[in-house]
Amino acid sequence: MSGRAVVLLSGGIDSSTTLAVAVHEGLECHALTFDYGQTHRYELECAQKVARALGAVEHVVMKIELQALAGSALTGDLPLPSGRSLDEISRGIPDSYVPARNTIFLSLALARAEALDASDVFIGANAVDYSGYPDCRPEYIEAFERMANLATRRAVEGGLTRIRAPLIDLTKAGIIELGTRLGVDFSMTSSCYNPGPSGEQCGECDSCTIRRKGFEEASLEDPAAGRRDL
Amino acid sequence: MSGRAVVLLSGGIDSSTTLAVAVHEGLECHALTFDYGQTHRYELECAQKVARALGAVEHVVMKIELQALAGSALTGDLPLPSGRSLDEISRGIPDSYVPARNTIFLSLALARAEALDASDVFIGANAVDYSGYPDCRPEYIEAFERMANLATRRAVEGGLTRIRAPLIDLTKAGIIELGTRLGVDFSMTSSCYNPGPSGEQCGECDSCTIRRKGFEEASLEDPAAGRRDL
């Protein structure tokens, strides 16, 4: 073990691959998942399976009432777009944008990292494939890291915290290839914003569309494509 | 009204004065308070009274389980220091430090500001009197603002968010004088980390010691000094 890391884990492809990267580096990984009232609650089950399978030493699921602050399609406050082409998806900021979500999640991860004296916080942010989220850009991650290293007692005492976004420059296909190489079982992951009770993917939401294209480009089968039961 | 602001309000002297500053600027003020399991829960009642008295148009109290992430003397996980001199209090970072607290609170306020299309987020951070908190320093506030202006959809669309800490350079006495001038009724505020059931101040904790000295230096009576009932 070369150190300790807090890894934000949603239960999707990106965060699961990110956890695999952190584990592969030999870090003692503490997974952190937020139950923020997302309509796609099935991903919370996925996060638990993935954390266990990849060898996180701990998995904290923290409830946070983001709906008290701001509405989003992901918390059921706005309609979720469906059946859009990749071209339509790639225009502008998606409706699934949740105000300041990564800032809130990274802030909470920073607190956890300080409590654990962990040097690294991992996030599966990705700036390439149809992301469009402002809080997934490299300049945002750098600005957060700079702020974090002024924010904590740990920083004042000389312990730097690195905000790591190892997928930031990868395509979805590249992420799927990397995760596959590192042993991620993608049958345990969920991407769909509107899954059935046993995790059936709707195939119509933006996230399903992006996932399908990623597996196609990686020339791999999506093991969750026909999911009825894990 | 010249605009809209989100104001972090704990119910103490600093945040109450900060709300008065924001109201005085003619901003439509949305107060935001966190119930994070603080042992000094009486301050939540104070925040409600202060928000109403100063004319906030709204007051959201959001629950957040910070204890799931990190322990602190303020959430009952460590002993709270008592009976220390101002000299002892001013050494180092206080035991009442809560990991990444201002970062978490500002992040949540940023989400609220984006939902409201508010241009300003106010925080009662203060770097002078025995603060010692890393996340109360001007360089921290500036770094947070820089990050915030890369984080949101609002920022991408050209709407800047200002992180305002109008008390940052004031002494506690200066804050009390300012608040008094702006009509803050300090009998409604609470500073004590260990108050009695009707808000009686213990007089022994660091926060009581700093409050007492502030009123002494401002040559004012603390209207909450003999509090039995508001």
Task: From chain A, pick out residues whose CB is under 8 angstroms from the CB of B135.
Answer: 150-152
Does residue B229 carry a pLDDT above 50? no
For residue B81, name the pLDDT band (cuts at 50, 70, 90): confident
Please answer yes or no on whether B63 and A66 come within 8 Å at the CB atom: no
For B121-172, the pLDDT digits (tens) are: 999 999 876 567 889 999 999 999 999 999 999 998 889 999 999 999 999 9
Please answer yes or no on whether A115 and B101 come within 8 Å at the CB atom: no
Please answer yes or no on whether A143 and B147 come within 8 Å at the CB atom: yes
- Minimal Cβ distance to A110: which of B65, B100, B111: B100
Distance CA A210, CA A200 (A): 16
For residue A1, name the pLDDT band (cuts at 50, 70, 90): very low
For A67-94, the pLDDT digits (tens) are: 888 766 667 676 777 788 877 777 777 6
Please answer yes or no on whether A62 and B65 come within 8 Å at the CB atom: yes
Could you tell me if residue B78 is inside a domain? yes
Please answer yes or no on whether B103 and A147 come within 8 Å at the CB atom: yes
Q: Taking Cα atoms as reference points, which of B69, B47, B72 lies closest to residue B58?
A: B47
DSSP secondary structure string for all residues of A14-60 = HHHHHHHHHHHTTEEEEEEEEE---S-THHHHHHHHHHHHHT-SEEE
Residue whose tokens read 């998995």:
A59
Question: What's phi and psi for A17, nearest 5 deg?
Answer: -65, -35
Q: Which domain holds residue B109?
A: 3-217
Rounded (5°) CA angle A24-A25-A27: 100
Interface residue ranges in chain A relative to chain B, Cβ cutoff 8 Å: 60, 62-66, 68-71, 93, 97-104, 106-108, 110-112, 114-115, 134-135, 137, 139-140, 143-144, 146-148, 150-153, 155-156
Work out the average pLDDT over B171-177. Answer: 96
Could you tell me if residue B15 is inside a domain? yes
Rounded (5°) CA angle B61-B227-B51: 25
Helical ranges in chain B per DSSP H:
13-24, 42-54, 86-89, 101-116, 138-151, 153-156, 172-181, 206-217
For A20-52, the pLDDT digits (tens) are: 999 999 999 999 999 988 878 889 999 999 999
Cα nearest neighbour of B30 on chain A: A69
Interface residue ranges in chain B relative to chain A, Cβ cutoff 8 Å: 60, 62-66, 68-71, 93, 97-104, 106-108, 110-112, 114-115, 134-135, 137, 139-140, 143-144, 146-148, 150-153, 155-156
**Sheet (strand A58-63) strand order:** A58-63, A27-35, A3-8, A120-122, A162-164
Q: Considering all CA atoms of chain A, what is the largest pairwise distance in Å, rounded to the nearest integer?
A: 51
- Minimal Cβ distance to A156: which of B66, B93, B153: B93
Could you tell me if residue B229 is inside a domain? no
Beta-bridge partners for A164: A122
Collapsing DSSP to helix, strand or coil, A221 comes out as coil
What does the mean pLDDT of chain A come to? 90
State how far residue A227 is from chain B, nearest Cα, in angstroms. Answer: 33
- Mutation target to probe the B interface, by most B beta carbons within 10 A, among A147, A154, A163, A168 is A147
Question: What's phi and psi for A229, nearest 5 deg?
Answer: -155, 140
The pLDDT of residue B226 is 74
Q: What is the pTM of this model?
A: 0.92
Cα nearest neighbour of B132 on chain A: A153
Q: How many domains does chain B have?
A: 1
Does residue B10 carry a pLDDT above 80? yes
Structure tokens at B17: 């004065």
Could you tell me if residue A12 is inside a domain? yes
For B181-215, the pLDDT digits (tens) are: 999 999 999 999 888 888 888 988 888 999 999 99
Structure tokens at A229: 């039961």
The pLDDT of residue B230 is 42
Distance CA A22, CA A122 (A): 8
The pLDDT of residue B73 is 65
Could you tell me if residue B225 is inside a domain? no
Could you tell me if residue A127 is inside a domain? yes
Task: From chain A, pick out residues whose CB is under 8 angstroms from the CB of B150.
Answer: 134-135, 137, 139-140, 143
The pLDDT of residue A129 is 63
For B84-125, the pLDDT digits (tens) are: 887 777 777 767 778 899 999 999 999 999 999 999 999 999
Could you tell me if residue A226 is inside a domain? no
Residue A148 and residue A161 in contact, taking contact as beta carbons nearer than 8 Å: yes
Work out the average pLDDT over A106-111. Answer: 96
Work out the average pLDDT over A3-11. Answer: 97
Percentage, residues of chain A above pLDDT 70: 92
CB pairs under 8 A between A and B: 142
The pLDDT of residue A128 is 79
Structure tokens at B163: 């992180």
Q: Taking Cα atoms as reference points, which of B108, B69, B140, B136 lies closest to residue A121?
A: B69
The pLDDT of residue B90 is 73
Residue B205 DSSP label? B
Please answer yes or no on whether B134 and A155 come within 8 Å at the CB atom: yes
* Cβ atoms < 10 Å from Cβ of A16: 30
Look at A150-154, B67-71, B140-144 and tell me which has the smallest mean pLDDT: B67-71
Please answer yes or no on whether A63 and B62 come within 8 Å at the CB atom: no
- Mutation target to probe the A interface, by most A beta carbons within 10 A, among B101, B144, B154 is B144
Collapsing DSSP to helix, strand or coil, A82 comes out as strand
Cα nearest neighbour of A99 on chain B: B111
The pLDDT of residue B72 is 64
Q: What is the amino acid identity at position A146? A: R
CA distances, B20 to each of A102, B57, B121, B128, B208 (Å): 31, 13, 14, 20, 22
Collapsing DSSP to helix, strand or coil, B162 comes out as strand
Does residue B2 carry a pLDDT above 70? no
Q: What is the amino acid identity at position B22? A: A
Q: Beta strand B3-8 with B120-122: parallel, antiparallel or unpaired?
A: parallel
Please answer yes or no on whether B115 and A69 come within 8 Å at the CB atom: yes
Question: Which residues make Cβ contacts (< 8 Å) with residue B19, sequence separation at least 6?
Answer: B7, B9, B29, B31, B50, B51, B54, B56, B122
Angle between helices A101-116 and B101-116 (to 10 degrees): 170
Residue A188 and residue A230 in contact, taking contact as beta carbons nearer than 8 Å: yes
Residue A224 and residue A189 in contact, taking contact as beta carbons nearer than 8 Å: yes
Could you tell me if residue B223 is inside a domain? no
Residue A76 DSSP label? T
Work out the average pLDDT over A184-196. Answer: 92
For residue A131, name the pLDDT band (cuts at 50, 70, 90): low
CATH number at residue A16: 3.40.50.620
Distance CA B43, CA B196 (A): 11
- Minimal Cβ distance to B60: which of A68, A71, A110: A68
Question: What's phi and psi for B164, nearest 5 deg?
Answer: -105, 125
Say what the ipTM of the complex is: 0.91
The pLDDT of residue B52 is 98
Structure tokens at B27: 């901003």
Please answer yes or no on whether A151 and B140 come within 8 Å at the CB atom: yes
Distance CA A62, CA B211 (A): 35
Structure tokens at A144: 């957060």
Distance CA B31, CA B201 (A): 24
Please answer yes or no on whether A152 and B143 come within 8 Å at the CB atom: no
